[in-house]
Amino acid sequence: MQSLWNDQEAATFGTDLLGQRVYTSRLLGRNPALVLHGGGNTSVKVTEKDYFGDDVELCYVKGSGWDLATIERAGFSPVRMDALIKMSKLATMSDEDMVLQQRAAMTNPNAPTASIEAILHAILPFKFVDHSHANAISALTCNADGEARVKEIYGSRVIIVPYVMPGFILAKTVAELIAGRDLRKEGIQGMVLLKHGLFTFDDDARKSYELHIEMVTMAEDYLAKKGAKPATAASTTDLMALAKLRQAVSKRRGFPQIARLNASPEAVGYANLANVATFGTRGPLTPDHSIRTKRAPAFIGEDLDASVQSYADEYAAYFNRHASGQTMLDPAPRFAIWPGQGIVSFGDTLKDAKIVADIAESTAATVQLGESVGGWEPLPEKDIFEIEYWDLEQAKLRKGPARKVHQGKVALVTGCAAGIGFAIAESLAEQGAQVVGLDIDKEIPEIMKKIGAVGIVVNLTEDQPVQDAIDFAVREYGGIDIVVSNAGIFPKNDPLDTMAQGDWDRTIMINLTSHQKLMNKVIPYVKQGIDASIIFVGSRNFKAPGPGASAYSCSKAALTQLCRVAALELAPHKIRVNIVHPDAVFDTKLWTPEALLKSASRYGMTVEEYKTKNLMKVEIKSKDIGNMVSAMASPLFAKVTGAQIPVDGGNDRVI
């Protein structure tokens, strides 16, 4: 492991102690082998003048909820040192009192809640304190010989701390270990918390950080000398099985889950290891991970549903063994070891799934290393339970926003580069869906980025590109729950006796046959979806055709019939199939100002009158269609299938 310190970069953070604390904290956070997604904590002790001009000694400690990789000055909580020292001398202190008193001792009430390790940081007699959950330290200490290994590597440079509950208990334990000692004279430069992590400290920001790098490197070198190497193997990815696994996990979770498959050679090699079902499910690298990953991953056998159910049953038994008044969390796994396939991570959102995937990847590498150099032996499950159900840790998860309607769902939308299609994709994304947009427009990847979605250039009349796009969605997110078949064209108006045959054929191919091709390929995956829904975008012309629009009107009529047949076929699978019929949606590329004026003039109307010529005299916009489609895919329409819904402000010819 290399130091990332750079003098020029360090200078941009300022020369004051807090500025340097921010910089070295970020250096720790940049390395996933040290900390992941909010893990670890850092601090600096300073003397500042308060509002009244009096000197006050403060411990600026990382605030709860902040990530070391991106932390700023505002992410550190200024807590009065005298209050923290007084807390360290109490015989007992509840978690609630600790959080309350730390907050009461802050000089800035707008700062985040201080880390639960604030007291521990305060009692260490150095300006800078760095703490990580380094992988190498876990591999070194999650073993029956962990303490002996630490002594062998570091000698008297570190204090060895047996595992105890983080927070007040840990602070008291360390206080007892350092009582009456002069750590500087003894040459103490750090602490190794068995089965937890590493602390280093110094009065200089760079020295404290580089001590951390040095000590982790020493652990890495020790492990490397043991000759441990990661296993590798090729994946035999089965996308349909992935969709089925995601469905099984989502049912146990109670919500749709994004599923991320890591099919790298390393992940597959790990999943294929002999006895990985035993040592790979013993426990996490650090107890902090349990709030995101639970105590252990699932192991997936040939029967996917039975494997997930077995995990749920075992989780319930684990809860019952250790619970004392808590309410059991859902029993679904957060990641799974899957021989032949790799490692699958699950989350309510893509961000959540990626966080779990990062932790799972780090866990697999470290567990494999630990097992190969003497046996992986993490904390007993009772200790993990205490962290997983610790209210201070659960509070971090409860801070998230309210759940969105389509959160965790995967939506495939065609013809979404502009107009109605884009509005549909946008509405679904706004309500939490992970959207994959397909369009022949070469700008579709950039267009979809605007709404946090993925765009793929696809000619929907070609079989293989459509299949590839569907496979991409399943491979990236685990399945498909919502399909909006919207792609279409409106050819030039020609009467039947003068229409070019090519215009008819092209319209039928795009407006009808491409939808049929999509259904043929996507339905097998939709059958594995969560609260699955298919929505077609039709037209008012189905019921109220106009002269010169035979190709368009007939294609939309046939598309409506396709929807009705699909509804009949898919109802036994609990898949809803409906169609929306928009009319007079003028905020699209098709309707230029010139085209609007020409059409309005034909009716003897102004443009504004023409836009609102429906019975309700309201303008219909693309977003109205997008919101309707999003609603049709939601629980509001949970028991509706085969429906044809007009969004046209009322049309006397249709009514």
Question: CA 591, CA 594: separation in Å to the nearest integer?
Answer: 8
- Collapsing DSSP to helix, strand or coil, 41 comes out as strand
Q: What angle do CA 638, 642, 646 make, to 5 degrees?
A: 95
Complete DSSP assignment for 289-355: GHHHH-SS-EE--SSHHHHHHHHHHHHHHHHHHH-SSPPPPP---SEEEETTTEEEEEESSHHHHHH
Question: CA 443, CA 574: separation in Å to the nearest integer?
Answer: 35
Q: What angle do CA 360, 70, 400 make, to 5 degrees?
A: 65
Q: Is 556 a catalytic residue?
A: yes
Question: CA 206, CA 518: separation in Å to the nearest integer?
Answer: 58
Q: How many CB atoms lie within 10 A of CB 195?
A: 24
Sign of the CA dihedral running 293, 294, 296, 299? negative
Q: Which amino acid is at 351?
A: K
Contact 535, 515 (CB under 8 A): no
- Collapsing DSSP to helix, strand or coil, 192 comes out as strand
Question: CA 138, CA 34: separation in Å to the nearest integer?
Answer: 10
Q: What is the DSSP letter of 539?
A: -
User: Annotated catalytic residue: which of 311, 389, 477, 552?
Assistant: 552
Question: CA 41, CA 391: separation in Å to the nearest integer?
Answer: 19
The per-residue b/e assignment along 21-32, b for 16 or more CB within 10 angstroms, e otherwise, is: bbbbbbbbbebe
User: Annotated catalytic residue: which of 45, 62, 409, 556?
Assistant: 556
List, by residue number, the catalytic residues. 552, 556
